[in-house]
Amino acid sequence: MKGKVSADLLRGHTDTIVLGILMKSDSYGYEIYNTILEKTGGLYQLKEATLYSSYKRLEKEECIIGYWGDETQGGRRKYYRITDKGKNRYRQNKVDWEFTQQILNQLLEEE
C-alpha cells in the first residue's frame, strides 16, 4: 500500500515550511518553490499563489523581510530573510507539530 500527500494535512503548515527553508539561508520565491519540490522528491507541490500569499502574510507579521536582489542579468528577484520573530515562530510551530504528531500517532495506533 502506497501513501499519498494530503493537501488538507499540510495546508496549515505552509508558513512553517517557508520559515524552515529560510532558516538555512535567504532565498527568493521561485527558489523556495523549487526547494520544496526537491526536498519532497516531487511528491508535494505548493501552488505559487499559495506561496506568495504566505510570503505576504509572513512579511506583514514581521516574520520575514523582503528585499530586492542586485542581479545583473535577467529580472530582479525579491529575496526573503527570516527575522528573529520568524525564527521563534518556526521553532514554536515545529514543537506544536511534533506534539500533534505524537497525539495522532497515539490515536491511530492499532492495538
Q: Where are the domains of the chain?
A: 7-108
Q: What is the mean pLDDT of residues 43-57?
A: 91
Average of per-residue pLDDT across 4-19:
83
Q: What is the CATH number of domain 7-108?
A: 1.10.10.10
Distance CA 46, CA 14 (A): 8
Angle between helices 14-24 and 84-108 (to 10 degrees): 130
* Reported pTM: 0.87
Looking at this protein, which amino acid is placed at residue 87? Answer: K
Digit-coded pLDDT (tens) for 55-100:
999 999 999 999 998 877 778 899 999 999 999 999 999 999 999 9
18 within 8 A of 30, measured Cβ to Cβ = no
What are the CB-based long-range contacts (under 8 Å, 24+) for 6-11? Answer: 10/44
Amino acid symbol at 56: K
User: Tell me, what's the pLDDT at 111?
Assistant: 66
